[in-house]
Amino acid sequence: MDNSPKVILTFDLELFEPKEKTFQQALEIVLSLLQKHSARATFFVLSGEIAEKYPDLIKAIASQGHQIACHGWSHQPINQLGPELFRKEVSQAKTLLEQITNRPVLGFRAPYFSLNKKTFWALDILKELGFQYDSSLFPVRTPLYGVWRPKAIIEKAPIKEVPVSVFGGGIYFRVLPFWLFKWLVKRSSKKQIPVLFFHLQDFFASSRARADLKEPWLVRAFSRVGLKTSLKNFEKLLQLFQMTGV
C-alpha cells in the first residue's frame, strides 16, 4: 500500500437520518472501513448539530487517528451570515470541538463551498480565530457553487487554501462509473494530491429529506443515484489509494 498514490480524504459531518439505522451506526460502518484499510481522514463537523448532540462520537473519530475540523455551527452559507455572525458562529463551533477533543482545530470548510471573491473576508476572520487552513473552495464555477479563477483567491489567502478536487465529491463518485472516478483520481494524483469530499449520505439512503437544507434540485435529483454500490466502491477506493487527512 505504501507505493499507492496518496489521496486526501475528507467528510462533511452533518446530521441525517439513515433508513433502518441510526446516525451513529452509519458513522460506525464508515469508521470501521477506514480502520480496516488503515485510512485516515479529516472530518469537517457541523458543531451545532453533531458536536453538541454526539460529543462521544467526535471523541471516537479523533481517537481513531482522524482529524477533527470545523464545518461551522449552523449550515448557512458565508454570505448569508455576514462577518459578525460568521465570526461568532465559527468561534463557538471551534471552541466546542476543541473542548471535546482536547486538541486544536486547524481546518475549516464552509457550508455549500461558499467561499468566493465576495466572501474573501471570511479568511481573515479564520486566521484571527487561529485556523491554519481553509477547504471551502470549489475551484470551478458550476450552477450550484464554485468560483472562476480560484488562483486569485488561493494566492491572496492569508491562510493555506486546500481546494477540493473538481471531480472529488461523493455525488460524482456515485454518478460516474467507478472505473472513470478511479481513473480521474489516479490521473490527478500525478500532478498534486487529490482532495475528495464525502457525506455519510453518499453511502446510506436517508429516511427523509432535510427540509432545512436548501439543496438545489440538481443535488436532490441525484441524491439516491449509486447508493446500492457506493459503499463497496468506497472500499475499493480505500484499497487502491493511501488515504490521509488534510
Shortest Å, Cβ 38 to Zn ion = 27
Residue 245 to residue 157: CA distance in whole angstroms: 21
Neighbours of 192 (CB within 10 A): 11
- Let me know if 138 is exposed, middle or buried by CB neighbors in 10 A (0-12, 13-18, 19+): buried
For position 146 contacting Zn ion by CB under 5 A, the verdict is no
Q: How far is the CB of 75 from Zn ion (least distance, A)?
A: 6
| Alpha carbon distance 4, 37 (integer Å) | 13
Closest CA to 211 of 16, 12, 13, 11: 16
Stretch that binds Zn ion, among 7-15, 31-39, 48-56, 85-93 (CB under 5 A): 7-15
Among residues 28, 36, 19, 34, which one has the least CA distance to residue 54?
28
Q: Closer CB to Zn ion, residue 90 or residue 241?
A: 90
- Is 150 a residue that touches Zn ion (CB under 5 A)? no
Question: Could you give the C-alpha distances from 209 to 8, 31, 111, 186, 216, in angstroms and in order?
Answer: 29, 24, 17, 33, 12
Q: Which is nearer to Zn ion, 112 or 241 (CB)?
A: 112
Q: Which is nearer to Zn ion, 9 or 242 (CB)?
A: 9
The distance of closest approach from Cβ of residue 73 to Zn ion in the complex, given in angstroms and rounded to an integer, is 12
User: Near Zn ion by CB under 5 A, which window of 105-113, 157-165, 184-192, 225-233?
Assistant: 105-113
Q: How many CA atoms lie within 13 A of 86 on its CB side?
A: 24
Smallest distance from the beta carbon of 71 to Zn ion, in angstroms? 6
With binding defined as CB under 5 A, does residue 111 bind Zn ion? yes
Q: What residue number has its CB nearest to Zn ion?
A: 12
Using CB under 5 A, which residues numbered 11 to 70 contact Zn ion? 12
219 vs 225 by CB, closer to Zn ion? 219
| Residue 167 three-state SS | coil
Give the residues lining the site for Zn ion (CB under 5 A).
12, 111
